[in-house]
Every structure is written in C-alpha cells, then in structure tokens.
Amino acid sequence: MAKTGEADADAFVEWFRAAAPYIHAFRGKTFVLAFGGDSLLRPDFVDLVYDINLLNALGVRLVLVHGVRPQVEERISEEAQYVRGRRVTDAATLEHVKDAVGSVRVDLESLLSVGLPNTPMAGAEIRVASGNYVTAQPAGVVDGVDLLFTGEVRKVAVAAIRDRLAAGEIVLLSPIGYSPTGEVFNLTLEEVATHAAMALEADKLVFILDHGDTVDAQGRRVSRLTASQAQRLLKELPEGDMKLYLPFAAQACKKGVGKAHLVSADVDGALLMELFTHAGVGTMVTRMSVENIRPAGIDDVGGILSVIEPLETEGVLVRRSRERLEQEIDNFFVDELDGRIVGCVALYSFAEVRAGEMACLAVDPTFRRGGRGDGLLAAVEEAAREQGLKHIFVLTTRTAHWFIERGFVLGGPDDLPAPRKAMYNWQRRSKVLVKDLEAA
C-alpha cells in the first residue's frame, strides 16, 4: 500500500501531466480576470495573487479588473441612492471613489510586486501597467434620476493595452473611466471587464464570485452553459454574485470572447482547477455548446480506448484490441467535450433482419452525470432509424435496469439475429435486452 506522501506525490504528478495540454494552449492567450472589492478584504486573497503569478509565468497575457464597492461604502456615511442597481454618484461620492480606487490600485500593485524567497512569488518580477485605458461617458438620466458621475464604458484603448501585454506586463483596470472633456466617471467592474474582454477579443473572461458558489436555485452545481442557456437560468437564480455576473459572461461570449468562467472565491485554488482541469469547479459559459456527439474517426481511437479500458478491466465490457477498434471505427459514435473524448457507443447493423446491436456504451467516470449516456443512446437510435432498422438490442452483465428504464425489454439469446446468436458467450451469460424503435 502506498504511503500518504507517496499518494499525494502521485496525484500531483498525474494532475501536472494532465495540465500540460492547457499550458500549451494558454501560452500567449489573453485572459481578463475580474474580482470585486470584497475579494481584496479576504485574508486568503494572497492565494489568488499567487495563482495570478502562476498564469503570468506560464505566458498568459493578463488583464485584471478590480472593484471597490465595500471600500467606497466604508468612506461614505450617508446611505447611497441606487437606480436599477447602479449607484448615483454625486461630486462628493466621486471623491470617495477616486480615493478608494487609488488605495486599492496601490495595494494590488504592491501584492504583485512581492518577490520574497520561499514564496510562490520568488523571482516573479511582475510589472503592472495601469492608466487611462477606459474612456467613459455619463450614464445620463434613468427613471427620471440623473446618475451624475455614474458612467458607462465608451471605448477601451485596445492598441495601448496590447502593447503592454506584448511587453510581458499585467494590465490593471480600475472601475473608473475618463472622458475627452477631462471628467472622471464611476463605473462597475463587471462592465469594464466585459467591454475590455470584448474589445481585446480575449480568449477568456473570468469572474471571481465574492459571495456564494456557482449553483442554481436548487443548490445544484452549474458546470457548463451556452449563452442562451445562461439567459434562461437567470430567471430562476436568487440575488447574488452568480446572478450579477452571469449576464455579462453571456454577453461577452455572444460578442466574440472565447469562453467565460465564474468561480467561487470560497474554493482554494478554484481559478487553477477551473482552467487546468476538464471537470473544472465553476461555471463555464460559451457561445455554442463545447460538447458534441458525432460519428467517430480514426483519430478518436486513442480517446475511445482511454474510456473503455477501465470498464474492460472490470469485466463490464468485452475487451477490444486497438486493431479491432480501428477496423470497426465506422460503427462508433463519440461524445466529445472541449476536445476530449468522454464517451462512446457503437451500432452494428444486421440489415437482413432490420436489427442493430448497440455495444460498447461507456462514459468516463468523471463525466457520468449530465445525461451523456442518454445522449449516446439517442444518437444510436437516430442512426438505426436512418438505416431502416426496426429494433435494437444490447447485451449487458451489469446495467440491465438502466436499459429497462429507457424502454428496453428483457429477452434472451433466441431474440438475437442468427449470426449474433452464434457468437453468444454462454460463459459470460450476458442479459439480452431489446427495444422496438417503431413503438418508441
């Protein structure tokens, strides 16, 4: 039995190797990372700084956008007026906003400048660029109320930001903007982050949730959404950071940002786990679905083997050699998630009796929740109907009830087409289940 230290080392090595494709993919890419003022007040905020340092070291081009809401509220004695969730910023409040922004910006630059030995920042030598990169305009009159110095983003200085990123610097954006007339406007971090990501055509936009987790109204984790699905989910979500940031994530994806992520500040290392693992720990939003069930090709053989080999070892599936799989690849469908094969199934046709065998249905254990087995079954049924088959059958030793729940009925070897019955393994004694496609 491996000792605890050895097990931890093995897990680290396995994770680090699995992260290699992401490291290659992310080098030179532009990420916009947004976090609220509450994040800076957390005692573990330095851990997020360490993770930012790691992304920078891996060659990711980073734009950081910070908030200052609690810092501003701390400086204001009177109760603020809000219109549709936006603070009315008068001249006195604007001075507090500028004071808070200056203080937070200096604190962030200080944290990013640390280079002490025996810390993750050792030898980092991070350079931070900040300035008047955001042009703003007045938000105007809303519901009869003049928002005064509350503004909205008009333009982002894309060329200037890209120059700084190309020089290896981290760009730091604050929630304020400047007008050509010399005025300063109070902005929201979510608007600044979203407009910056869209203008820069960023590969990723990441929001750190100061409060709560990436779950729906029933407390179930929401791992992946398309932009349109995100809009529908908003109607059900309670008030909180998830509901605040999700529409901006969806907007960014619709306007060209590769992917948007929401991760909870309450999970240590959530940023790294979300970006460098397939399963992630937060919510990923994309313009279109990153999951696709499609016919398999010869390049999918390795991915299929990685899914089915554990089940072959357990005796759930009959072992298939690589050579056999290559010969039969045209019979397979795969479930591809973000470039990785996470499930597969095969359909073997017996056209003379208008029957088909569904075989080798398998889903990677990490991804078994989410209806992927049902999706693969649906793909097989659709293909069988297109081939004019009347029914499909499956042989299984472990999962008979799963198939019965989906319209299969228990049969026997005599229900198999003659060529398949001749190959029936009487020692394995697999159960035979049949589904009538015309009745389904």
pLDDT digits (tens, 9 = 90+) for 25-35: 999 999 999 99
The whole-angstrom separation of Cα 419 and Cα 435 is 19
How many Cα atoms sit within 13 Å of 381 on the Cβ side? 17
Concatenated DSSP letters of 88-153: -B-HHHHHHHHHHHHHHHHHHHHHHT---TTSTTTT----EE-SS-EEEEE--EETTEE-BTBEEE
Which residues, 6 or more positions from 141, have their beta carbon under 8 angstroms from its beta carbon? Answer: 147
Question: What local confidence, expressed as pLDDT, does residue 177 receive?
Answer: 97
State the helix-helix crossing angle for 227-234 and 241-254, rounded to 10 degrees: 150
Question: What local confidence, expressed as pLDDT, does residue 13 receive?
Answer: 85
Question: What local confidence, expressed as pLDDT, does residue 3 receive?
Answer: 54
| pLDDT beneath 50, residues of the chain | 1-2
* 86-87 and 224-226 beta bridge pairing: unpaired
Q: Show the tokens assigned to 389.
A: 């088959």
Question: What local confidence, expressed as pLDDT, does residue 4 receive?
Answer: 54
Question: What local confidence, expressed as pLDDT, does residue 2 receive?
Answer: 45
Cβ neighbour number for residue 366 with a 10 Å cutoff = 11
Q: Which of 333, 337, 389 has the alpha carbon at shortest distance from 360?
A: 333
Question: What local confidence, expressed as pLDDT, does residue 120 receive?
Answer: 78
Residue 47 and residue 80 in contact, taking contact as beta carbons nearer than 8 Å: no
**pTM for this model (two decimals):** 0.73
Question: What local confidence, expressed as pLDDT, does residue 11 receive?
Answer: 80
Q: Could you give the domains of the chain?
A: 4-286 (3.40.1160.10), 291-436 (3.40.630.30)
Strand partners, 363: 343
Question: What local confidence, expressed as pLDDT, does residue 1 receive?
Answer: 38
The whole-angstrom separation of Cα 30 and Cα 203 is 5
